């Protein structure tokens, strides 16, 4: 999937700048052992363009992992890129609600 925005070129013409949406699939268990790999992937992606995180396989997620996702979303937003979490599992949704983070995640959850 591609997204784009119109940009002014030297004040005269408009050019469509297109960025390809990148995707990361979360593992079943997101704990301290898996955070480094996920974080390393997200650090690069949020600098390059829109990011989609697929979360349908998540069975268990740590609090630190949820805060890492919020941080990645904030970085993407600062870079003016979309950050979405698609198909969050019931376990992930439950953890978000249990920790009182539903409002912070609401704008990025899809499906």
| pLDDT digits 0-9 by tens, 38-59 | 999 999 899 999 999 999 999 9
pTM of the model: 0.80
- What residue ranges do the domains of the chain occupy? 20-110
The CATH label, of 2.60.40.10, 3.30.750.24, 3.30.565.10, 3.40.50.2300, for the domain at 20-110 is 3.30.750.24
pLDDT value, residue 22: 87
CA atoms within 13 A on the CB side of 44: 8
Reply yes or no on whether the pLDDT at 18 is more than 80. no
Which residues have C-beta within 8 Å of that of residue 28, sequence separation ≥ 6?
57, 58, 59, 60
In the chain, the percentage of residues whose pLDDT exceeds 90 is 75
Confidence of residue 20 (pLDDT cuts 50, 70, 90): confident
Bridge partners, residue 86, by sequence? 54, 110
């Amino acid at each position: 999937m591609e997204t784009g925005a119109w940009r002014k070129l030297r004040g005269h013409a408009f050019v469509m700048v297109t960025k390809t949406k990148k995707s990361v699939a979360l593992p079943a268990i997101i704990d301290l052992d898996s955070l480094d790999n996920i974080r390393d992937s997200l650090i690069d992606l949020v600098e390059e363009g829109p990011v989609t995180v697929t979360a349908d396989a998540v069975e268990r997620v740590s609090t630190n992992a949820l805060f890492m996702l919020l941080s990645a979303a904030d970085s993407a937003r600062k870079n003016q890129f979309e950050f979405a979490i698609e198909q969050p599992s019931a376990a992930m949704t439950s953890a978000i609600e249990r920790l009182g983070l539903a409002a912070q995640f609401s704008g990025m959850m899809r499906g």
